[in-house]
Amino acid sequence: MTLEFDYYFSFRSPYSYLAAPQVEELIARYDMKPRMRIVTPIAIRIQLLQEREPALAALFAARHVPHLTDAQHSLSLAAP
C-alpha cells in the first residue's frame, strides 16, 4: 500500500533544496508518494492578506518588520 504525505516546498527557500535529497531517499526506500504543496512566497501571501484582512496585515507588519531591522541585518526602520 502506497503511503502519501504532504511535501511542502518553497522555490525561494534553501531549506527546501537541502531537504529534497532526503525526501527522494525516503520515497525510494519506502513505498511513499508525495503530495506536492508549493508554498507561496511571503510577498504574495502578504498582498493577499492585505486584500482580505487589512487590519491583520498591519498587525503582521508591526510584529515582523522590526525583526528585519535588527543590528544583525544592519538595516534601519524609517517612515517613507
- Residue 51 makes CB contacts below 8 A (sequence gap 6+) with none
C-alpha cell at 80: 517613507
CA 37, 54, 72, 76 dihedral sign is positive
Residue 57 or residue 34, greater confidence: 34
**Confidence at 5, pLDDT banded by 50, 70, 90:** very high
pLDDT for 13: 81
Nearest-5° Cα angle at 52, 8 to 75? 70
Cβ atoms of residues 52 and 23 within 8 Å: no
Give the domain ranges of the chain.
Answer: 1-39, 43-80
Most confident of 9-18, 37-46, 65-74: 9-18
